[in-house]
Chains A and B, each alone.
Chain A
Amino acid sequence: DIQMTQSPSSLSASVGDRVTITCRASHIIGNYLNWYQHKPGKAPKLLIYAASSLQSGVPSRFSGSAFGTDFTLTISRLQPEDFATYYCQESTGSPYRFGQGTKLEIK
């Protein structure tokens, strides 16, 4: 199985900050890497698919990039509604492993 190592597990930041979340795959997965946002009691939301493609309707302050087996999600200027938990996910096949999650909190 492919393992996904996501860091950090938690992050404190202020409105207007730039933040970066990283996910590392244990094997080469090409660009089959997606990012999701989840708020308590809400449906998870797809932000970025195929490593760097912005899902329709998602603000352009969200971006994704890839370098080998390392993937990053960047939020350029944090807004109050961005405080949530973020997950990466590989989609090369079963078991469609998710990262452990990054809880983004207000400083």
Chain B
Amino acid sequence: EVQLLESGGGQVQPGGSLRLSCAASGFAFSSYSMTWVRLSPGKGLEWVAVISGNSVDLDYADSVKGRFSISRDNSKSTLYLHMNSLSAEDTAVYYCASCSPHCLRGWFGPWGQGTLVTVSS
């Protein structure tokens, strides 16, 4: 069974940093592109970042470009999201998802349960 388990969320002050992790199991992790998507209070789903299976291809939403960094460790079947210069607008539940196996012209799924990031002083 495919499982994705996010961790690392919490409360952080504006301007702070946080690293999210997504532990994957039940599939050939290195063969799949992976992505992060967030759900902000009162808003809908927003795509954040994507990484190819070999980490060669990366892409980010304009809203996080230059502040967030996506990476993966295929030896640990783990996906990461490094978040810097956080602001209140980054407050959201962050979900990781695998792609099909590519996000481009594909689909997202399965998804993890999410980890909550709250940016507040």
Using CB atoms and an 8 Å cutoff, list the residues of chain A in contact with chain B. Answer: 32, 34, 36, 38, 41-46, 49-50, 55, 87, 89, 91-101
SS of B interface (majority): strand
SS of A interface (majority): loop
Using CB atoms and an 8 Å cutoff, list the residues of chain B in contact with chain A. Answer: 4, 35, 37, 39, 44-47, 50, 59-62, 95, 97, 100, 103-114
Whether A91 pairs with B62 at a CB distance below 8 angstroms is no
Q: Which of B45, B106, B114 contacts A98 (CB 8 A)?
A: B45
Whether B109 pairs with A45 at a CB distance below 8 angstroms is yes
For A36, the chain B residues whose CB sits under 8 A away are 45, 108-109
For B62, the chain A residues whose CB sits under 8 A away are 95
Indicate whether A46 sits within 8 Å of B108 (C-beta atoms), given known contacts A94-B61, A95-B61, A95-B62.
yes
